[in-house]
Structure 1
């Protein structure tokens, strides 16, 4: 493959994942307009926003079948059209039911963007470059989180949320078209020769496989804790426990987002180079996640360290869990990488949702004063998340080789 073709493949799938990240955060900017125009309460907005994740999670296993059967190019392009239909409905409806259906369709439509990108990397690049390219893919997608901040706020001063939704649909169709037309079909054999029942049987094998369950829980616990906190609970922790002002907390939240992006790139670059010193991908990924747990303990015990330093390390080390995608691609046969990635994604998103809801549930055991919870409430909730990560680490570091025989899927 030429260098130009390789760059084109990576860039187009990264663009698709960037788009999915923008969709994930659109309601941050839309929320006040939805409340005013549609009469939605805070609980309505929370429920509505969560339907993206529901659609995303429910689509993972069938999306994995499609990836392995039809390939990354066709699956990603077709599903992006579903997202376009969803956002048109979202922008034109005048009912809560229409918003919900639109949000679900958007979640389904972008559900394969990351998995398609990882599969394309696994099929078109040498394994020595997977950690770096996977990290770059996640980092570029993560920049979509920047777009739903100030840029979206500026757009909303010029256009309505409905017009922006229609504009997103047009852009999504354009991205689907360029992926379909400009990404070459992979030379890797797809699983289209397998019956659907055999492919489903392959998913069952993955979900019952002990190696899968030794690898997956720790990165899902780490990623679940980080993304649940980053998207909702970090700022309340900083204001209620660390007693920062809202502006100071906002600065730290932005900073840890940037360090997370930096972490995905740097850990991906270092992962393969450090193998020459005897530290393999499994060990390096595990070390980074273990250090992430250590940083959380330092935060919980309020060790006298600069908040900028400790929260910067929190964001940077959280990126270690992304290396698990490359690890799973090494452990499992290439013909099931799509299904393995989407099965992992499903559990990952369930973990984020569960931890985000769980923290709120724990906090409600203490009465809030003017919207603020006592420090003990946050410390208890975060301590429980750390305990879950420590338990899952036992499985990850349990001695034994990690390799799945291809004959299991014959």
Structure 2
């Protein structure tokens, strides 16, 4: 066999994953704690800069692999080490062994948009993960940082128009559960706006105590708790807007729910951006809503629906019986799909960031695609929200 043929066969073998090292980033990455049940990979960075930091990983593997077999990147042994150590800094990620018992390869490592090591990805399956944090600052940081909030997930292609979407597409999508005896019952959609706080409709927790409420984050199918990367939290505080008087129609139908422990932002859990005065200077004619639709007595995977935002004049004509003020807005579902409405947030894309514009005020009893739905306009309450998430 001549040398040229040997080289060609070697390249083909490499591309098929039969000959390849575990990592092209051996300076920064190694596998530790390899067992039959799980594998842990460890990233070591010699230094971290003060302020905002982001680590991006790309794993590759032969064959068609499920995205869920790669877990989330987390600081090791805990978050405090990242904040107070002077280096080196360690991060770990848990990986489930594949059917072929083959460890995935770390093909790219990026720190703060700088490629530390990597190669062109030749393999059939790849998974991306990231970890984002502030050095020398609480991980329970303001959701308004332009480097953190409102980033749409990139786990799978974008799907819209009344169809379900992949886990991590909208990482701020959260769920409110109510404790009923020994079970948890899904009640409302909520939206993550900081590491410790979700926002939703006040009527979702009317007459409930903190003990009655439970928050799920990073969830997908609500009937299948324990999605990889999901987290649950008990509640420390329920703060209803002072204009909420009862569980009937309230234009200020807002509740801020503070969780007992903050979450660590990752690819499946991160906050949406709050509305700003600057955002109000740009006219928004459409947005999206996402939530879980009740089908066949169970909640399947979440759905996303595109909506058209009506003008104030059209909104007033659509709801003459309610006498809506300028603290509300209206949007219509035009794509032919219904999403369970309690607590659902109206999301608007500006640039490459999603901002939370409103929270649905009423739940439709049936789907009518010719009707608008009223929303609490969060642009009118942003000062109250900011005052109560920063204090």
Larger radius of gyration: 2
Query: What is the TM-score of this pair, normalised by structure 1?
Result: 0.24
Query: What is the TM-score of this pair, normalised by structure 2?
Result: 0.25
Relative contact order, higher structure (CA 8 A, sep 6+):
1
Structure with the larger helix share: 1
